Structure 1
Amino acid sequence: MGELNIVGCGRAARTLARLWAAAGTLTIGDVLTRSPASAAEAVAFIGEGHAAASFDDMRPAALWLLGVPDRDIAACAQALAESARVRPGDGVFHLSGFTPSAALAPLAARGARIASVHPVMSFADPGIAITRFAGTPCGVEGDAGLAAELDHLFVAIGGTPFALDGERKPLYHAGSVFASNFLVVILDAASRAYVDAGVPPETADAMLAAISRGALENVLALGGPHALTGPAARGDREVVALQQGVVSAWDADAGRAYDALSALAFALAARRDATESGAQ
């Protein structure tokens, strides 16, 4: 069993650490976050480990996880490299879906092996995430040897690893942003539109659940072009234009989103029509 040190232990990192600790796959060593209090909170959730106050307080480990936001990855890697806590041959990885492992270059220059793993799921609540992680696709890129080790570690807690191209991660990650982050934004706009149009909140919630679940099931079963319904799917540009005006008057940002999404919907409908024409 190897030992894992963690620098930056947010929702994703603490979820994974707890799963590894519970499975007996890794021993959790030192945990460093922005404050001793948050480090202690992370250790309490994980169930093992030591809350560190600084890099100087961290002991050696064969594996290091940088669970910091994208904007902090490069600076964190530089600071960790300068701390001389990482030894040649140690593995260091981060969890970003956007940033490639190359951002850890200062550590590679000191002999560390570097990689990244992006678990494709929402970690909004670690307590819930630990119950839903099994089956999660996990995109892996970086040093081949370390990537193979990480494949094993993620499989051990129910993950499904797949290989990523580090140079194409920004586009890859945009897919997750559309499928998850923007979905939340769109559903919030839908809920506000229902309520502001006079629908009782409890009825709006029921409507939102039914229509969004149905749409997702249709996309998964039929594919996007054949799952599309509504005025854009029917080519009714007049209705779309009139509705876009109403939405813009209600909420200017939502109106711009409606306009952009309508353009994508018309393009999707055109792809469906072209496919059906070609099949005849």
Structure 2
Amino acid sequence: MRRLNVVGCGRVGKTLARLWSQSGALMVQDVLNPSASSAANAVEFIGAGRAVTDMADLRPADTYLIAAPDALLQPIATQLAERCAAVPHAIALHCSGALGADVLAPLRACGWSVASAHPVMSFADPASAAKQFQGTPCGVEGDAEAVAEATRALVHVGAECFGVEPAHKRLYHAAAVYSSNFLPVLQAVAIELWEHSGVPPELTRHLMERLMRNAVDNISAFGPAAALTGPAARGDSAVVAAQTQAIQDWDPLAGEAYGALSALAMRLAKTGKVGTREDTQC
């Protein structure tokens, strides 16, 4: 069984390492986090591995999962590359949706095979994410050997892998942000506006859940354009302008967002899409 070292074991790292360990896809060997407590907590959650806090304590492994924040990927790759003499060939994977495999170039330069493997799901809670992972789409790109290994390990735990064009990773990830990460923000604004309007707090959660579920069901059944409703979908620019001003008086940034989203909604209602590009690829 291939040995796995995890470098930067937060929510994504813990989820994948636990799934791979429990399924037998990979043997978790060392788990590196900045603090002893965070490393120990990660090992406890995974149910396997040895907690370490120093790069020098990592034992040679076949595969390295670098699950650190985007800004740390290249510095970590550079640090690992300094150990290439001890590990002349290995596979290194990162999970960033916005950065390509090239961010691990220092490791590629010393003979390693590198790839990015981005699971398209929310990792708000690792325990929940591990239970929900079956069927998760995963965008993969990079060197052939690393892509093959990432695909094998991910498919082993139920993922559905697909290729991503490296030059468009930022747009690819921005799409996931639009689809998932902005949803909590929009619901938070809605709840605050309802409460500001005098709706009893005990009803706001019910309103949010009902509207959100209806919207998701309609989008899934009919697609975004056909599911669109509201003043922007009807082309009622007077209502949109009045609401935009009212929200700006409440909070300027929220008002600006409402105006921009309404403009996109009007474009979607008229043309069936929000982008102005005629081609389907950037």
TM-score, scaled relative to structure 2: 0.94
Residue aligning to 2:233: 233
- The alignment status of 1:37 with 2:37, answered yes or no, reads yes
Amino acid paired to 2:19? L
- After superposing on structure 2, the runs of 4+ consecutive aligned residues of structure 1 that deviate more than 3 Å are 83-86
Q: In the alignment, residue 37 of structure 2 is paired with which amino acid? A: A
Distance 1:109 1:161 in 2: 26
Cα shift at 1:137: 0.1
Q: Deviations over 1:173-200 (max 9, x none)?
A: 0000101111111111011111111111
TM-fit CA distance, 1:85: 6.8
- Whether the 8 Å CA contact 1:66–1:94 is kept in 2: the answer is yes
- Residue in 2 aligned with 1:164? 164
Match of 2:276 in 1: none
Q: Tell me if structure 2 keeps the 8 A contact 1:59–1:85.
A: no
Matched, 1:192 2:153: no
Is residue 2:214 matched to residue 1:202? no
Runs of 5+ consecutive residues of structure 1 not aligned to the other structure: 274-280
| Cα drift, residue 37 of structure 1 | 1.2
Mean Cα deviation higher: 84-93 or 162-171: 84-93
* 2:112 match: 112
Q: CA deviation at 1:144?
A: 1.0
The DSSP-based 3-state class of the residue aligned with 1:114 is strand
Amino acid at match of 2:214: G
Evaluate the alpha carbon distance shift between residue 125 and residue 234 of structure 1 in structure 2; reply closer, same or farther with a 3 A threshold: same
- Alpha-carbon offset, residue 53 of structure 1: 2.3
CA distance in 1 between partners of 2:234 and 2:130 (Å): 42
Asked whether the 8 Å contact 1:92–1:115 carries over to 2, the reply is: yes
Aligned to 1:20: 20
Corresponding position of 1:96: 96
- C-alpha separation in 2, matches of 1:193 and 1:54: 48
After TM superposition, the structure 1 = structure 2 runs for residues 119-134 of structure 1, keeping only pairs within 5 Å, are 119-134=119-134
| Counterpart Cα distance in 2 of 1:111 and 1:41 | 32
Letter in 2 for 1:188: A
What's the CA shift for 1:88? 3.0
Residues of 2 paired with 1:146 and 1:154: CA distance?
12
Contact 1:94 1:101 in 2 (8 A): yes
CA distance in 2, matches of 1:216, 1:144: 37
Deviation at 1:86, TM superposition (A): 6.3
Label 1:247 to 1:176 Cα distance change in 2 as closer, same or farther (>3 A).
Answer: same
1:270 aligns with 2:267: no
Structure 2: how far apart are the matches of 1:145 and 1:58? 23
Percent sequence identity is: 47
Amino acid at match of 2:27: T
Which residue does the alignment assign to 2:65?
A: 65
1:149 paired residue number: 149
State the SS of the aligned residue for 1:31: strand
Cα distance 1:86–1:202, how it changes in 2: closer, same or farther (>3 A)? Answer: farther
How much is the aligned-residue C-alpha RMSD, in angstroms? 1.2
- Which structure 2 segments of 5+ residues have no match? 274-282
- Residue 54 of structure 2 corresponds to 54
Paired with 2:72 and 2:201, the residues of 1 have a C-alpha distance of: 40
Q: Which stretch of the first structure deviates more once superposed, 58-67 or 86-95?
A: 86-95
The code of the aligned residue for 1:81 comes to: A
